[in-house]
Amino acid sequence: MPNRKDLLVLDTDASDKAISGVLSEIQAEVPMVVCNESYAQTKEKRRFCTARRE
Protein backbone atom coordinates (compact mmCIF):
# COMPACT_ATOMS: atom_id res chain seq x y z
CA MET A 1 0.00 0.00 0.00
CA PRO A 2 1.27 3.50 -0.74
CA ASN A 3 2.28 5.51 2.31
CA ARG A 4 1.14 8.91 0.85
CA LYS A 5 4.40 10.70 1.66
CA ASP A 6 6.56 9.38 -1.19
CA LEU A 7 6.42 10.30 -4.87
CA LEU A 8 4.02 8.30 -7.05
CA VAL A 9 4.94 7.59 -10.69
CA LEU A 10 2.56 6.35 -13.38
CA ASP A 11 4.13 4.64 -16.41
CA THR A 12 1.92 3.82 -19.39
CA ASP A 13 2.49 2.03 -22.67
CA ALA A 14 0.27 1.35 -25.65
CA SER A 15 0.77 -0.80 -28.72
CA ASP A 16 -1.53 -1.78 -31.56
CA LYS A 17 -2.79 -4.70 -29.48
CA ALA A 18 -2.71 -3.74 -25.80
CA ILE A 19 -2.49 -1.00 -23.17
CA SER A 20 -0.69 -1.26 -19.83
CA GLY A 21 0.05 0.94 -16.85
CA VAL A 22 2.15 0.62 -13.69
CA LEU A 23 1.77 2.81 -10.59
CA SER A 24 4.97 2.89 -8.54
CA GLU A 25 6.00 4.68 -5.37
CA ILE A 26 9.59 5.84 -4.94
CA GLN A 27 10.77 4.64 -1.51
CA ALA A 28 14.40 5.39 -0.59
CA GLU A 29 15.14 6.04 -4.30
CA VAL A 30 13.82 2.58 -5.25
CA PRO A 31 10.58 2.28 -7.26
CA MET A 32 8.13 -0.10 -5.57
CA VAL A 33 5.14 -1.29 -7.64
CA VAL A 34 1.81 -0.36 -6.06
CA CYS A 35 -0.39 -1.80 -8.82
CA ASN A 36 -0.41 -2.65 -12.51
CA GLU A 37 -3.07 -3.14 -15.15
CA SER A 38 -3.15 -4.24 -18.77
CA TYR A 39 -5.77 -5.20 -21.29
CA ALA A 40 -6.17 -5.97 -24.99
CA GLN A 41 -7.32 -3.22 -27.34
CA THR A 42 -10.79 -3.32 -28.80
CA LYS A 43 -11.11 -2.99 -32.55
CA GLU A 44 -12.54 0.52 -32.14
CA LYS A 45 -9.73 1.76 -29.89
CA ARG A 46 -7.02 0.46 -32.24
CA ARG A 47 -7.90 3.37 -34.55
CA PHE A 48 -6.71 5.95 -31.98
CA CYS A 49 -3.14 7.29 -32.15
CA THR A 50 -0.67 5.98 -29.54
CA ALA A 51 -0.74 9.23 -27.52
CA ARG A 52 -4.55 9.12 -27.31
CA ARG A 53 -4.50 5.44 -26.22
CA GLU A 54 -2.00 6.09 -23.45
In which region does residue 52 sit, left (phi positive, over 0), alpha (psi from -120 to 50) or beta (all else)? alpha
- Confidence tier at 2 by pLDDT (50, 70, 90): confident
Taking only the tens place, the pLDDT of each residue in 24-51 is: 999 889 999 999 999 998 888 888 887 8
A 10 A CB-CB count for 46 gives 13
Res 10: pLDDT: 94
List phi, psi (to 5°) of 12.
Answer: -125, 155
Taking only the tens place, the pLDDT of each residue in 7-24 is: 999 999 988 888 999 999
Res 16: pLDDT: 83
- Specify whether the CB–CB gap between 36 and 23 falls below 8 A: yes
Kindly report the pTM of this predicted structure. Answer: 0.74
In which region does residue 29 sit, left (phi positive, over 0), alpha (psi from -120 to 50) or beta (all else)? left
